[in-house]
Chain A
């Protein structure tokens, strides 16, 4: 199974800050990586697919990059609605696996 490791597990940031979350796969997954956002009490929502492609409903302050084993999600100018937990997920092979999540909290 491919293990997905996210860091940090949590972070505190202020409105307007730039935030970067990393995700590392235990083996190469090409660009078969997605990012999801989960606000408290809500279902996850798709943000990024194929490592760097934004879903149509995602604001441009979100960006992502990476391939192989190392990936990043960046939020420039953090907004109140961005405080949530973010998960990466690989879909290179079964079983599909998720990272442990990164909780972005208000400083």
Chain B
């Protein structure tokens, strides 16, 4: 059974930093691309960042480029999202999501975690 368990969310002041983690199990971790998707309370879904299975390519939404860094540790089956220079508009529930394929190109999402909440507020 595929499981994706996010952690690391919390409340932080504007300009601060957080690191989200996603512990994965139930599949061959390095064989699949992974991504972060966020959802603002009461609103829709926004893709944030993605990374290939081997970690050699990363992708970012313009809204987070230069502030967020996605990475993965295939020896620990863990995905990360380092979030710096946080803004109020980054407040959202952040989901760790598995791609069906390895590259993150032309491939859909198949499994989602339950999310971790990030609140950016003074």
Tell me whether A32 and B44 are in contact (CB under 8 A).
no
Interface size class of A (residues with CB under 8 A): 20 to 34
Task: Give the residues in chain A near B106, CB-CB below 8 Å.
Answer: 32, 91-92
Task: Give the residues in chain A near B107, CB-CB below 8 Å.
Answer: 91
Complex: how many Å from CA A107 to CA B35? 36
Complex: how many Å from CA A44 to CA B96? 11
A98-B100 contact, Cβ under 8 Å, with A34-B108, A46-B108, A46-B109: no
Question: Which 4 A-B residue pairings sit nearest by Cβ, starting from the closest?
Answer: A49-B108, A96-B47, A34-B108, A43-B112
Residues of chain A at the chain B interface (Cβ within 8 Å): 32, 34, 36, 42-46, 49-50, 55, 87, 89, 91-92, 94-101
Residues of chain B at the chain A interface (Cβ within 8 Å): 35, 44-47, 50, 59, 61-62, 95, 100, 106-115
